[in-house]
Structure 1
Amino acid sequence: MPLGDKSYSIVGVLIFLGLFAGLIFLARTAKTLLRSRLLHLTGLNRGTQETVAQIANYALIFFGTIVLLQLAGLDLSSLTIFASVIGVGIGLGLQGIAKEFISGLVLIFERPIQVGDFVNIEGLMGTVERISVRSTEIRTMDAISVIVPNSRFLESEVINWSHQNPVSRLTLPVGVAYGINLHMVREALIQAAKEHSDVLLQPEPQVLFKGFGDNSLDFDLLVWIANPPQQFKIKSDLYFRIEEILRDRSLEIPFPQRDLHIRSGSVPLELSPQLSESLSQLSTSLTKWLEFQSNTNSWHKSNSRIDSKESS
């Protein structure tokens, strides 16, 4: 089998393919050992460990392939132009992959997000399960795994509740009826907050009086939590407890109301000339039809009387 200035036998090609397969196996084994024996001792998170192991795997395959080609006697310098053309074509076709790869490296080394963080990216909310060089896996609140390209984390606004300090604040709007003692409302809301085990006592829960609404006096209950993934459950528990306390203390929660005032009298109505003419014609036709019906009924009654006299 000729290749450039050299020729290779079928046996030689098979040997080369066998060595290449052995190289792939060796690279995968090295990746597994690196991840299980060394990287877990560094304290890096799972995503970083996986990325470092994957890069080592690709590097070993790349350099091992070059060594095998040189051992086979292939002049790599003669393939420079061909490799350049192929490289340009591959580069144009793999721009997206290269973009995700670079984004993955930025995420790994800058670490704006880490495995275990609770994040919200463009409405997608969940826990980061894995960070690789191409994509990031997020497990949503519905236990669904979503694969997100790494570039989205650099190009979009990302809310990371777990970054550096997982403590975050929740705001619970509450409305009560007019005429209720405001201090009693404040005490009830503070009591509900302090009774919940997931609400932090420092910083202390706060109650803010927002103002006078259309149908209610509006308050905000501000509480601090250290477990952002449980924020929706904590809110639900607090609302349940708030309703119980307000009901026990006879503090009314209002519902929207609307007062209608009906004014007597005539309302001037302006009509267009065309509509006025049409209504006038309709009124004339209706009057003529009623007169015709009245005359017809009178004629029938007159005939009935004549017939009755003749029969008698």
Structure 2
Amino acid sequence: GRISAMKTRYISVAAGDGREFLIPNEDLVTQKVTNWTYTDKNTLVKVNFSTNYEADPRLVCKLANEIAAAAPRAIKLKPPNCILVEFAEAGMRFALTFWIADPDGMDNVKSEVMLSLWETFKREGIRVPYPVREIRIRGGALPVETTVEVSS
């Protein structure tokens, strides 16, 4: 957010989504404050995503880095970085980071990179995982004439 007013008892911070936070001055003096743009407006954008286990993780990272580097607001002097962070139940999890020059509209930049990831993955045959559920019935089999319908 941006400081929209400084009063004797509080500071008003306007968030990018329309909310406004009133922060008592005492909190600013006695508690930890994080300011992303005090001396430098450069902002790190982090995009978390997953692929299935059939994907080549090195190719996934290469494609993700190319997509982030091609983002119009990405800082060219600070190259993006994609790492494999976890072998999860449903697939591999990755973290892609890249820098932009100003935090304004950061969610829009992140969304555009995610959409480009989606389009590239579809073109390359890389699938995003989805949970698979298996139902097991204990205590014997169902009679043959019984049917079970599952609806979403």
* TM-score normalised by L of structure 2: 0.80
SS of alignment partner, residue 98 of structure 2: strand
| 2: CA distance, partners of 1:143 / 1:196 | 26
Structure index of larger Rg: 1
1:297-308 equivalences in 2 (<5 Å): none
Q: Which has the higher contact order (CA 8 A, sep 6+)?
A: 2
| Structure 2, gaps ≥5 residues long | 142-152
| 1: CA distance, partners of 2:120 / 2:54 | 18
CA change 1:212–1:146 in 2 (3 A) is: closer
The equivalent residue for 1:235 is 110
Identity, % of aligned positions: 20
The equivalent residue for 1:174 is 49
SS of alignment partner, residue 34 of structure 2: strand
The equivalent residue for 2:101 is 226
**Which amino acid in the other structure matches residue 133 of structure 1?**
T
| 1: CA distance, partners of 2:132 / 2:140 | 26
| Structure 1, gaps ≥5 residues long | 1-125, 267-312
Equivalent pairs counted in the alignment come to: 141
Deviation at 1:263, TM superposition (A): 5.2
1:176-195 equivalences in 2 (<5 Å): 176-195=51-70
The equivalent residue for 1:154 is 29
* TM-score normalised by L of structure 1: 0.41
| 1: CA distance, partners of 2:15 / 2:51 | 35
Structure that is richer in helix per residue: 1
The equivalent residue for 2:150 is none
Please give the root-mean-square deviation of Cα atoms over the aligned residues, in Å.
Answer: 2.2
| 2: CA distance, partners of 1:229 / 1:157 | 23
| 1: CA distance, partners of 2:8 / 2:46 | 37
CA change 1:211–1:144 in 2 (3 A) is: closer
**Which amino acid in the other structure matches residue 243 of structure 1?**
W
| 1: CA distance, partners of 2:91 / 2:80 | 22
| 1: CA distance, partners of 2:82 / 2:20 | 38
CA change 1:152–1:262 in 2 (3 A) is: same
SS of alignment partner, residue 207 of structure 1: strand
The equivalent residue for 1:252 is 127
CA change 1:230–1:252 in 2 (3 A) is: same
Structure that is richer in strand per residue: 2
Q: 1:55-85: CA deviations, max 9, x gaps?
A: xxxxxxxxxxxxxxxxxxxxxxxxxxxxxxx
**Which amino acid in the other structure matches residue 205 of structure 1?**
P
| 1: CA distance, partners of 2:43 / 2:2 | 16
Deviation at 1:165, TM superposition (A): 1.8
**Which amino acid in the other structure matches residue 53 of structure 2?**
Y
Deviation at 1:264, TM superposition (A): 5.6
